[in-house]
Amino acid sequence: MLTEEDIKLMQKVFATKEDLEVFKEAILEAISDLQSSVDGYAKKADTYFQEMVMLSHKIDRHEKWLLAVADKLGMKLEY
């Protein structure tokens, strides 16, 4: 026969429905925090990549200008 002590011991060993609900809420909160962090990083990465594309276009434009100036001056640029 089960004694009160055995029942108390079993309550400590086995998770109850309330314990699982608390655990579920904690996991959902952790996932939400993680998702927010990933979203923040993705936004920063997207901004960085857009800036790199703009910088690349700017460099290409400057290179064309330099080649045009060199051509008008009769110089040959080597690179």
Q: What pLDDT shows up at residue 3?
A: 79
Contact 67, 77 (CB under 8 A): yes
Dist. CA 26–CA 3, nearest whole Å:
33
pTM over 0.85: no
Residue with more model confidence, 16 or 20: 20
Q: What pLDDT shows up at residue 11?
A: 65
| Cα three-residue angle 43-47-53, rounded to 5 degrees | 145
Contact 21, 27 (CB under 8 A): no
Q: Is pLDDT of 10 > 80?
A: no
pLDDT digits (tens, 9 = 90+) for 23-76: 899 999 999 999 999 999 999 999 999 999 999 999 999 999 999 999 999 998
Question: Which residue carries 């979203």 as its tokens?
Answer: 39
Range 19-24 average pLDDT: 88
Handedness of CA 68, 71, 75, 77 (dihedral sign): positive
